[in-house]
Structure 1
Amino acid sequence: MHIILGATGHVGSALAQDLLARSEPVTVVTRDAHKAEALRTKGAHVAVVDVFDTHALHRVFKGGHRLFVLNPPAAPSTDTVAEERRSLRAILSALEGCRLEKIVAESTYGAQPGEGLGDLGVLYDMEQALRAGRTPFSAIRAAYYMSNWDASLKTAREEGKVYSMYPADFRLPMVAPHDLGQFAARLMLGSPESSGPHHVEGPEHYSAGDVARAFSQALGRPVEVVETPREQWEKAFKSLGFSDAAARSYAAMTRVTLDQHYEPPEKPERGAISLGEYISALVKKSPDR
């Protein structure tokens, strides 16, 4: 049995569907059964468990052989680092005493030790904790999710603008969640030996300008990039409903990416879905197309 934490999100859902298509037994863990209904109809078992209920989560883990871990992102209105460290502790506690064959976990490009780095520090700590355990472990370090641009569809359609913390010509690795899910399935079904970290990105690097051009082509109207200056990042995040702590964390992560304060991988794994294909599909499935 494959246990999937985060199965109702972009990556976990893609992983679950890939495994189910191969007739693999899958249990998806969620707080909201309604969000997992589509996966249930495809054959998944649904375990309705709050990640902070360590006893219930432990029981689910004990019923599986391989586990995919995606530490749930905290609501931006909270202190995201504090909340994500709390959920990580709960997951690690629930794993105690479990005899799993393998754990695969979703991490991120730029994961590194240090305080004040938002998810980058939390996910690095997750990698270290899982690698120190007895269960064979593989980490996926994902590039910038293409789905991070989903919210830009509204402004691209209504204003002809894509708002970005990055300069229009700054290129960075991006990846479609579906490609991450497929790669995760390969690891879940592969050798139980520890491996990685595996860096996964799309066919090429893209910029905010490329995002605007992709929206322009898909929507059939001009779309431009509006860059938020570095000194206004925290204010911009707070205007979107982020707490002060979350705004600081997200600004710090943005700085790490823009200033490239991490070692880029020499040979990343590459997905097949281009940014243009991802944006085109996003527009086609939107209700207001």
Structure 2
Amino acid sequence: MILVTGATGHVGGELTARLAASGRPVRALVRNAAAPPAGAEAAVGDLDRPDSLRPALKGARGVFLLPGYADMPGVLGECARAGVEHVVLLSSIAAADGDMDNAISRFMILSEEAVRASPVPWTILRPSGFMSNTFQWTAQLAAGDVVRAPFPTVPVAMIDPYDIAAVAARVLLDPAHHGRVHALSGPEPLLPADRVRLLGEVLGRPLRLDGLTDEEAREEMAADGTPPAYVDAFFRYYADGTLDDSRVRPTVAELLGRPPRTFTQWATAHADAFQEDHR
């Protein structure tokens, strides 16, 4: 049995579907008795309350774990008590910077430290930015063909969550990956304008980018409810340049025997999400 946390999210959803399709028993952690993703068994639990995870962990051999919860050592302690044989932590390439003054890096670093300190064998995945972050544009694209986005000069080697899930499925029950950190990226660095252009080609629409100034970006992030510490974190990464998210890494191809999926492939797979409100 594999327990997937975040099973309704972009990566966890892809992983749950992949495991179920392969015939592996998979259990989806949910906070209430909602219907689980197709092919999965539902288990109610809250990662902020480690003791609530005991029923979900019963019989689990592997756990796909999200970072950043209130008591990560407690979560790992419950995994150990349940006899879990392998934890795969979804982290971020930002964890590598060691910057404990950056709110996002900090929770990634602390999550990785909890995993490393646990007696449960572990693997850490550090992906670059997700292609699915492009869903942030859906409301704008429902209103017209202009996308306003921050950090217009910053390239990111974005990765499809489908590929992160494929890597997670590949390593979850493989002891060869115990104690390893896998940095993951997409196939090429893309500017926001590149994503707008490629998405426009897929949708058949004349999309264009209106890059935000730093002042405008701060205002819009605050208006969207982004916590101030996270706003500061993004500006440290992309305005101050403390994070290079543009590096293309070979890991996906090495582990899966194929290249990572392109942004065009991601956009084609999710085109309906951008079209249904526009039509």
Whether TM exceeds 0.5 here: the answer is yes
Secondary structure, in 3 states, of the residue corresponding to 1:175? coil
Structure 2 counterpart of 1:14? 14
Structure 1 counterpart of 2:60? 64
TM-score by length of 2: 0.86
Structure 2 counterpart of 1:116? 101
Residues 99-178 of structure 1 aligned to structure 2 (within 5 Å)? 99-111=83-95, 112-168=97-153, 170-178=154-162
Q: Aligned match of 1:272 in 248, 255, 260?
A: 260
Render the CA deviation track for 1:59-83: whole Å, top value 9, x for unaligned: 4224311111013xxxxxxxxxxxx
Q: Which runs of 5+ in 1 are unaligned?
A: 72-83
Q: Indicate the larger mover: 19-28 or 151-160.
A: 151-160
Q: CA RMSD in A?
A: 2.5
Distance verdict in 2 for CA 1:91–1:252, change over 3 Å: farther
Whole-Å Cα distance in 1 between the matches of residues 18 and 185 of structure 2? 18
Deviation at 1:146, TM superposition (A): 0.4
Paired residues, number = 271
Paired residues of 1:165 and 1:254 also in contact (CA < 8 A): no
Deviation at 1:117, TM superposition (A): 1.6
Secondary structure, in 3 states, of the residue corresponding to 1:222? coil
Paired residues of 1:3 and 1:26 also in contact (CA < 8 A): yes
Paired residues of 1:141 and 1:198 also in contact (CA < 8 A): yes
Deviation at 1:186, TM superposition (A): 0.1
Secondary structure, in 3 states, of the residue corresponding to 1:226? strand
Work out the percentage of aligned pairs sharing the same amino acid: 24
**1:37 is the counterpart of 2:36:** yes
Secondary structure, in 3 states, of the residue corresponding to 2:190? strand
Structure 2 counterpart of 1:197? 181
Amino acid at match of 2:92: T
Secondary structure, in 3 states, of the residue corresponding to 1:151? helix
Q: Which runs of 5+ in 2 are unaligned?
A: 254-258
Render the CA deviation track for 1:183-225: whole Å, top value 9, x for unaligned: 1000113226514211122222211111110222133222222
Structure 2 counterpart of 1:212? 196
Whole-Å Cα distance in 1 between the matches of residues 92 and 214 of structure 2? 22
Amino acid at match of 1:117: N
TM-score by length of 1: 0.83
